[in-house]
Amino acid sequence: MSFPQASFYGILDTGYVLREHCLEKCKALIAGGAGVVQLRAKKQSRDERRDILQEILPLFESGAVPLILNDDLELALEFPIVGLHVGQDDIPIEEAREALGANRYLGLSTHSPDQAAGALDRAHLLDYFAVGPVFATQTKPDYIPVGLELVKHVASLNPPLPWYCIGGISRSNCNQVKAAGAKGLVAVSDVLCADDTAAAVGEYV
């Protein structure tokens, strides 16, 4: 099992998608060519998150596109094919890896050169890491943007595992992020708020 370094990583974020549109938006992310999909359902209860997961799970059963759950280890463990994404303030990756075992994916958010170095130091525990927010974003308003400088810095380290740039990325600025050395991009609001999410993802891919 090796995690893909896809050109586009999609996030089904319930801050932008009504419950009744989750399945359709998730299908659109995959149809557009997202190489990974994360469910990010921060406002929901675990039961509500489970309900969304159960609905979208059949889309991932072929194994072609990994499904990652944001920050709910216990719920991820209920589903054999679901991986986990954690932030710096969530469960430590040592504990998460121990609980997940070797056969599930684990990703980590990083927001500084030190945190990126920490991800590289512990690359044996991780399947991928994310770097951001690159630009200011309403999706994660309390974070200071890391800018293209951190993208360039991480690219210069030539990470031995997949990594994704995230935060404030849109179809109009993504070329700058690519030019800074990004391998894979995440855009949340830009594709989820597009009328045609699949077409928007397709433009990135």
Which of residues 30, 187, 200, 201 is near ligand TZP by CB under 6 A? Answer: 187
Which of residues 15, 33, 87, 202 is near Mg ion by CB under 5 A? Answer: 87
**Separation between Cα atoms, residue 119 and residue 124, nearest integer Å:** 9
Minimal distance, residue 138 CB to ligand TZP, in Å: 7
Should residue 10 be labelled a site residue for ligand TZP when binding is judged by CB under 6 A?
no
Q: Which of residues 113-172 bind ligand TZP (CB under 6 A)?
A: 132-133, 137, 139-140, 166-169
The type of residue at 166 is I
Q: Which does 71 bind (CB under 5 to 8 A by kind): ligand TZP, Mg ion, none?
A: Mg ion
Should residue 72 be labelled a site residue for Mg ion when binding is judged by CB under 5 A?
no
Q: Which does 137 bind (CB under 5 to 8 A by kind): Mg ion, ligand TZP, none?
A: ligand TZP
Q: Which of residues 50-89 bind ligand TZP (CB under 6 A)?
A: none
Which of residues 22, 126, 188, 200 is near ligand TZP by CB under 6 A? Answer: 188
x/- letters, 82..121, toward ligand TZP (CB under 6 A):
---------------------------x------------
What's the distance, Cα to Cα, between the start and end of the chain in Å?
23
Sign of CA dihedral 89, 43, 146, 123: positive
Q: Is 168 annotated as a binding residue?
A: yes
**Separation between Cα atoms, residue 76 and residue 98, nearest integer Å:** 13
Minimal distance, residue 70 CB to Mg ion, in Å: 6
Q: Is 41 annotated as a binding residue?
A: yes
Half-sphere exposure of 135 (CA within 13 A, CB side): 14
User: Residue 184: what are its φ and ψ, rounded to 5°?
Assistant: -135, 150
User: In 3D, which of 107, 117, 123 has the Cα closest to residue 166?
Assistant: 107
Contact present, 12 and 29 (Cβ < 8 Å): yes
The pairs formed by 142-146 with CB atoms below 8 angstroms and a separation of 24 or more are 143/111, 143/167, 144/111, 146/111, 146/112
Contact present, 161 and 126 (Cβ < 8 Å): yes
Q: How many residues bind ligand TZP (CB under 6 A)?
A: 14
Should residue 177 be labelled a site residue for ligand TZP when binding is judged by CB under 6 A?
no
The binding site for ligand TZP (CB under 6 A) comprises 109, 132-133, 137, 139-140, 166-169, 187-190
